[in-house]
Chains A and B, each alone.
Chain A
């Protein structure tokens, strides 16, 4: 039996593509060796970012490596967490709300803990800071992947799960043949989103101030930021250009082929209306080298699967069962102890918080909430007409969609310095500027969902309203808004999550050597992280998490349920 990779076997000639692939493999190899040699070096407190553009490729590669390792970590974590959560009702009841909370905690709040722990673990070595950076990127990309995997495996149809039992699959087979393929589409989409999120937080993770100490790692994020700090727009644009180029290359060579390939894991057995194409995938399918690798991979996996039935069929063994049960209880106790210890520690940290601080936090929360809503409102004002226009006009969609996609792929944080320059020239402070920065990061979620919603409105409904001469506001009220409502709600939920996360990087910006900030929860978190005021950091993080989860529960979830029941087009 093969693993689910199939590639047409017609061509056995060595093509030009094979030579290209050879060089790609060579490139990857030297890349790994280079990274290893770099990260092993001792850490100097004052890493200088050399702005000479000839250094850009080297920086870009290092950043890419961080994102890559963070992604691998995220994937592993997602699968482990998803499985554990679906093991029993109790696991599910604890772990899924926990995920909700973890997701609402901004990346920067993890920063001090992670960085200090890693530096303590590898004193004086750069790898400590590298690992910290990777872990930070990880906290920015892991949650949606975990949700996706968990959701996929818990929606596997009952009869498919019964097949696994009737035909006596072991755990490995079940993972390989059912769970992984079933979750592939969602996992790949979310991987794409997560990696995009990785670029978004790269600047914050590669260069930051903690307890008034300056931490820097060589990378494209720190390059752009350093260039911006020196006010060198030319170098900012070089850095930005490289980053965008990298993102486009990744999209073309990894994500698009993966998405096309993953179509074979669609669960509905009806062929899709429109076959997606990937020119790169077509190219690769013709390669004899790739075919050999796929065959080798297939055979190895099959051998491992066969072996797994012989060597690891321990699950029936009562001793093993009891042992694993005891292990489970022990790990549960350890987790509980860690939680208690953390709470005691946290209480110690918070104990020196004054009443004034709490007032500050509440005020800051109010300002941030206001900014999030204004940002959503502004996003709505422009994305609604544009999205509906694109969605209802297939011809416009063809041209505009790819433009929009490229625009959306640019990580907003990287554009911040440029935008800031303009804002400063215009004279509006960060109070209002922050809203624009948040807007940059969140409007795309809305736009994409509105486009999807508008193009899903049934043709006959559109024709009927035309036949009855329904126009203008009435057309919006009777046809368009109810039609796109479920998509609109989904877009708003994602956008609001993104906006909250963006408060961290938009309310507190270091630019041109000085720090600009405005009143807000995000600013408070960044500030307390930079100055090492961990009590304040903890409390403001809790407050943000509470606000985000609260709004999710009280507002978005209700709207979502309404969207799913009343406004669903059957």
Chain B
């Protein structure tokens, strides 16, 4: 896997612009990290069910009840631009 790792693709997905030097540096560093993590493949997990959780529990729910939190003034307090209670961002092309 580490050999297939393409830092340019990952940078594009993260919307990061990398210089040639940065690309080379991160390609090598991130590849090393991946190789390190790959050591996990040596563990025998044939008797273990795959999971994405370690909490060993399920169903942590809320009841469907509403509560107030921010007013729109509070929600917009840190907005660089706002108008008519809306966050204003550069025009988005659909």
Judge: A and B partners, yes or no: no
Task: Give A contacts to B, CB under 8 Å.
Answer: none
Residues of B participating in the A interface, judged by any CB pair closer than 8 Å: none
